[in-house]
Amino acid sequence: QLACPLDLGCHSVAFYHRDFERCKIVDKHLYALAPVHTETKFIRINAEKAPFFITKLGVRMLPTIICFIGGIAQDRIVGFDELGGRDDFPTVNMRRRLAEAEAIEWDDPAASAKKEKKVTSIYSSQFKSADSDDDL
């Protein structure tokens, strides 16, 4: 765990290499999210020019995004496995993962719909069993 010298708050730091295509894909998604999520500072660091941070933070694969909250590294997204495992993943996957890391504030409508559906199904199954004639 490394304390970040940045001011307290949320920061998502993306380590990149200018020759790596997947780093460019991450940049595209973060550029789309940054103007919408002003509660978080999005920072790009060229891995070639920051060997101290790469070593200190244990970055072994690019792209890597490290989420800092209150100046402390809390979570990391390494590669694309958690984003869909493909180069053409939608931005919502990145948004969902950053929200899961608490690096951005976002209520996922898909997750809310799933929760609502579960609550509805629990109640409806209770009503069905209460109305059932099997108990007679």
Contact between 32 and 91 (Cβ < 8 Å): yes
Distance from C-alpha of 25 to C-alpha of 91, rounded to nearest angstrom: 10
State the CB neighbour count (10 A cutoff) for residue 25: 18
Pick the closest to residue 101 from 110, 93, 89 (CA basis): 93
pLDDT, position 4 = 47
Instruction: With a cut of 50, say whether residue 127 has pLDDT above it.
Output: no
pLDDT, position 38 = 93
Write the pLDDT tens digit of every residue in 41-95. 999 999 999 999 999 999 999 999 999 998 899 999 999 999 999 999 999 999 9
Contact between 57 and 2 (Cβ < 8 Å): yes
Averaged pLDDT of the chain: 84
Strand ranges (E), the chain = 10-16, 40-46, 64-69, 72-78
Both tokens of residue 30?
């973060």
Distance from C-alpha of 67 to C-alpha of 77, rounded to nearest angstrom: 8
The alpha-carbon radius of gyration of the chain (Å, integer) is 20
Both tokens of residue 97?
């993962």
Instruction: With a cut of 80, say whether residue 96 has pLDDT above it.
Output: yes
In degrees and rounded to multiples of 5, residue 116 shows phi and psi of -65, -40
Sign of the Cα pseudo-torsion (106, 73, 10, 90, in order):
negative
Helix (H/G/I), strand (E/B), else coil: 80: coil
